[in-house]
Structure 1
Amino acid sequence: FKARAIKPAIRFLTPDEQRVAFQDLVRGEIHFETDNLSDFVIMRSEGIPTYNFAVVVDDGLMNISHVIRGDDHISNTPRQVLLFHALGFSLPKFVHIPMILGADRTRLSKRHGATSLDQYRLSGYLPEALINYLSLLSWSSESGEELLTVDRLIDEFDFQRISKSAAMFDFEKLKWMNGQYIRKADAERITHLAEPYLARAGIFVDDREKLKKIISIVKEKIECIEDIVPHVRVFFQDRVRIEDRDVKAFIRQDSSQKVFWSFLRKLEHVAVLNSENFKEMMKDVQKETGVMGKNLWMPLRVALTGQMHGADLPVIAEIFGKEKCYEFVENAIYK
């Protein structure tokens, strides 16, 4: 090699006719026959150590107690066990956890959606929701509950409850779980997190208490912080614009128009509109018009917000106030 100026690679001499065995905390004992293992490279010809050699030296010198990694590394482990023994290091405990797959049952990758934590943060996922969801991929609490705080995860986690089967990353389940955490979160925190999204959408609110009150009701309807913009925009629009033909037809039907006229008559006798007297007014409107249920409430929701669904209507009306409610409902009357 020297005469030909060739730098050789260095290989580990694998012993013959031996069984390499190790305990895996998920799969139990795993063993390999050395006759099925070739002499493997530990140092490349350019002087760079290979992965198997480098991680063993690193883990051994740092006294690593547990090696936790994907089960696609099981085939590397017998080589690493041989190196641990050869270098005189104690064996760590090995834990090979199942792979995470996309909806098409292939290994999770960028084509399945967001993969960096930054992307999830920018979309408005809360850290505790992401930790909670990731913890349930191939693991479950003995209680059967799914919404678990970090403290509970620490207390309840047990390697023995990790499944051997691959886990599927369900983006819809993650969104649902994030929504649950948003609902439980303090309105002040969600307001703080929502402000950058609102600013990018051109929504600037000087009255922070008013904004916090708005956030406290609309956070019940969202699953990611970035979804909050259209819900908040409703409270700051100068007029309602309805583009959908079916929605236009709905508020123009006779029952909707009756509700509008009756509501305006009742509203004229209210000094200050709040959620409680709004509910009482709606009872009176129902008695006067005979309109009930969806046909009673939805026309007013559309007139006030332009949406068929959304936050609690009495609270919306209270935040709008008497004058704005009167103006928006009057504009919805078909003339």
Structure 2
Amino acid sequence: MEIRTRFAPSPTGYMHIGNLRTALYEYLIAKSQGGKFILRIEDTDQGRLVEGATEIIYNTMKMTGLHHDEGPDIGGAYGPYVQSERMGMYMEYAKELVEKGEAYYCFCTKERLESLKESNGDGAAFAKYDRHCYHLSKEEVQAKLDAGEDFVIRQKMPDEGTTTFSDVVYGDITVENKELDDQILMKADGFPTYNFANVVDDHLMEITHVVRGSEYLSSTPKYNLLYQAFGWDAPVYVHLPAVMRDAHNKLSKRHGDKSFEDLVREGYLVEAIVNYIALLGWSPSDNTEIFTLKELEEKFDIAGLSKSPSIFDIKKLTWMNGEYMKAMEFEKFYALAESKLKEALAETQLDLRKIAALLKKRLETLNDIPHLVEFFKELPEYGTKLYTHKKMKTDDAIALSSLQAAIPVLEEMTEWNETAIHDRLIALVGELGIKNGQLLWPVRTALSGEPTSPGGAIELADILGKEESIRRLKKGVELLSN
């Protein structure tokens, strides 16, 4: 049997982390077993649709490399792949259930349904539908339909017994049927509910594995009963625990938690985001942490899924992002960094490639670039305390004498590159009889004006050039002399 999974988002806004994780796991379940990954747009809740949200879905899938085998934009044998384009079939399937006695027409008004809540004691609590319309005769139902009264179609739940379903993550789950409400299948506007369209489409598209958040566990008995009512085989269920902000709160955009788009804008690499999200609920057997998407396809095993909620740790993602940049080929890294370097160092003639080479092994995110390189454009104001460094064995006096010795040596140089600068400064260290750091730390400090910098004295001097380097060293002498 071919494995077929589907990512079925609703176009209601940004792509949050939980959504992307679901898409990733569905993709990996299919690809790890040579199956098909399908994209379906579920837009039956017309009131919540957000303009441009569908494009966000397409763009995210493209950026992350989660390429679908079938979908609205590429077609396939089971289309259409947008629910609003499949409208004709849902009512027919609902009517089939009515004919079987598994569903019924309901003509109750909103006011009557609200009164059920009011009669439920505290008023705010949910009240099960009382099946008022279930007891209407066929003639009464037909008369109301002929009169054009608004209606919904409800699923008839069993009155007794239990429903059991098996989930890959949570095992067997059993519920009392008497606890299940007669859910609406077709709404008054003629659109199917999410729960109903979901089941019909999954069956017709031959979906074998349904992956979704654990918040849908309570709805799954109803799905199973729908499959039974139609006489269809239910899919394999894979419910995922929540992604949490902390031990008590789920990730939420309302509370400032990041979406996929936010993370990309903040300078995180797409590959690192996907890698990190893969580990939010799944553990490889060998405890490896860094994976390419291709490696995830090869290594992913559904048995590694956890039932424990995962906490989204931005520090862990930041670490992983840095590891990705360190390992990245330079040309690929430079292509990502170039625009930020040009923006930060506009109107300078500095060698951006040399600066990028210094940054590559020091960055955590691409958005760190501007503040890390701004000293190249303009020397910041700084105090003499930066020259004191216990490990380098420097203080103001040592720094002053070292800079005073370095300036004439550098002024005499006719060739200006890293090798030449290195050889001359190291020779000067020997002539002065001091430690390397007692010369190089003051020079680095004078060139950058920062407590730390992406690169040492020799690299900075090479990039800044002879004239600017000597100007900054002289400013350091002036500062230390006052």
- What secondary structure is seen at the aligned counterpart in 1 of 2:249? coil
Cross-structure match for 1:242 = 381
Q: Structure 1 residues 294, 328: CA separation in 2 closer, same or farther (over 3 Å shift)?
A: same
Cross-structure match for 1:119 = 262
Given candidates 372, 387, 390, the residue that maps to 1:231 is 372
Given candidates 329, 332, 335, the residue that maps to 2:476 is 332
- What secondary structure is seen at the aligned counterpart in 1 of 2:163? strand
Verify the 8 A CA contact 1:301 1:308 in the aligned structure 2. Answer: no
Q: Structure 1 residues 304, 266: CA separation in 2 closer, same or farther (over 3 Å shift)?
A: same
Equivalent-residue separation in structure 2 for 1:52 and 1:288 (angstroms): 81
**One-letter code aligned to 1:328:** R
**One-letter code aligned to 1:185:** M
Given candidates 236, 240, 243, the residue that maps to 1:93 is 236
Q: Structure 1 residues 255, 48: CA separation in 2 closer, same or farther (over 3 Å shift)?
A: same
Verify the 8 A CA contact 1:221 1:310 in the aligned structure 2. Answer: no
Q: Structure 1 residues 298, 308: CA separation in 2 closer, same or farther (over 3 Å shift)?
A: farther
Verify the 8 A CA contact 1:252 1:333 in the aligned structure 2. Answer: no
Q: Are positions 1:106 and 2:249 aligned together? A: yes
TM superposition shift of 1:104: 5.6
Once the two structures are superposed, residues 168-189 of structure 1 have per-residue CA deviations (whole angstroms, 9 ceiling, x without a partner) of 1111111111111112223322
Given candidates 17, 25, 38, the residue that maps to 2:181 is 38
- TM-score of the superposition, structure 1-length normalised? 0.87
Equivalent-residue separation in structure 1 for 2:425 and 2:247 (angstroms): 49
Once the two structures are superposed, residues 67-122 of structure 1 have per-residue CA deviations (whole angstroms, 9 ceiling, x without a partner) of 11111110010000111121233211110111001136301012554533222222
Q: Which runs of 5+ in 2 are unaligned?
A: 1-106, 108-143
**One-letter code aligned to 2:202:** D
Which 10-residue stretch deviates more, 13-22 or 250-259?
A: 250-259
Which 10-residue stretch deviates more, 271-280 or 297-306?
A: 271-280
Verify the 8 A CA contact 2:345 2:377 in the aligned structure 1. Answer: no
Q: Give 1:1-335 correspondences, 5 Å limit.
A: 2=144, 7-103=150-246, 105-201=248-344, 203=346, 210-237=351-378, 240-244=379-383, 246-247=385-386, 253-289=396-432, 291-292=434-435, 295-313=438-456, 314-334=458-478, 335=481
Once the two structures are superposed, residues 152-175 of structure 1 have per-residue CA deviations (whole angstroms, 9 ceiling, x without a partner) of 111111111111110011111111
**One-letter code aligned to 1:132:** N
- What secondary structure is seen at the aligned counterpart in 2 of 1:17? coil
**One-letter code aligned to 2:352:** L
- TM-score of the superposition, structure 2-length normalised? 0.62
Equivalent-residue separation in structure 1 for 2:152 and 2:248 (angstroms): 38
Q: Which runs of 5+ in 1 are unaligned?
A: none
TM superposition shift of 1:327: 2.3
- What secondary structure is seen at the aligned counterpart in 2 of 1:317? helix
Verify the 8 A CA contact 1:218 1:310 in the aligned structure 2. Answer: no
Which 10-residue stretch deviates more, 273-282 or 22-31?
A: 273-282
Verify the 8 A CA contact 1:129 1:177 in the aligned structure 2. Answer: yes
**One-letter code aligned to 1:247:** L
TM superposition shift of 1:191: 2.5
Equivalent-residue separation in structure 1 for 2:191 and 2:320 (angstroms): 45
Equivalent-residue separation in structure 1 for 2:200 and 2:279 (angstroms): 32
Q: What RMSD over aligned residues (CA atoms) do the two structures have, in Å?
A: 2.8
Identity %: 34
Equivalent-residue separation in structure 2 for 1:202 and 1:254 (angstroms): 33
Once the two structures are superposed, residues 235-273 of structure 1 have per-residue CA deviations (whole angstroms, 9 ceiling, x without a partner) of 343xx2324574378898111101111222432453323
Equivalent-residue separation in structure 2 for 1:8 and 1:241 (angstroms): 71
TM superposition shift of 1:200: 4.2
- What secondary structure is seen at the aligned counterpart in 1 of 2:172? strand
Verify the 8 A CA contact 2:426 2:436 in the aligned structure 1. Answer: no
Verify the 8 A CA contact 2:345 2:376 in the aligned structure 1. Answer: no
Equivalent pairs, count: 331
Verify the 8 A CA contact 1:175 1:223 in the aligned structure 2. Answer: yes
TM superposition shift of 1:223: 1.2
- What secondary structure is seen at the aligned counterpart in 1 of 2:166? strand
TM superposition shift of 1:230: 2.8
Q: Structure 1 residues 33, 117: CA separation in 2 closer, same or farther (over 3 Å shift)?
A: same
Q: Structure 1 residues 199, 262: CA separation in 2 closer, same or farther (over 3 Å shift)?
A: closer
Verify the 8 A CA contact 1:260 1:333 in the aligned structure 2. Answer: yes
Equivalent-residue separation in structure 2 for 1:110 and 1:274 (angstroms): 50
Verify the 8 A CA contact 2:406 2:425 in the aligned structure 1. Answer: yes
TM superposition shift of 1:294: 5.3
Which 10-residue stretch deviates more, 127-136 or 88-97?
A: 88-97
Q: Structure 1 residues 286, 103: CA separation in 2 closer, same or farther (over 3 Å shift)?
A: farther
Which 10-residue stretch deviates more, 263-272 or 31-40?
A: 263-272
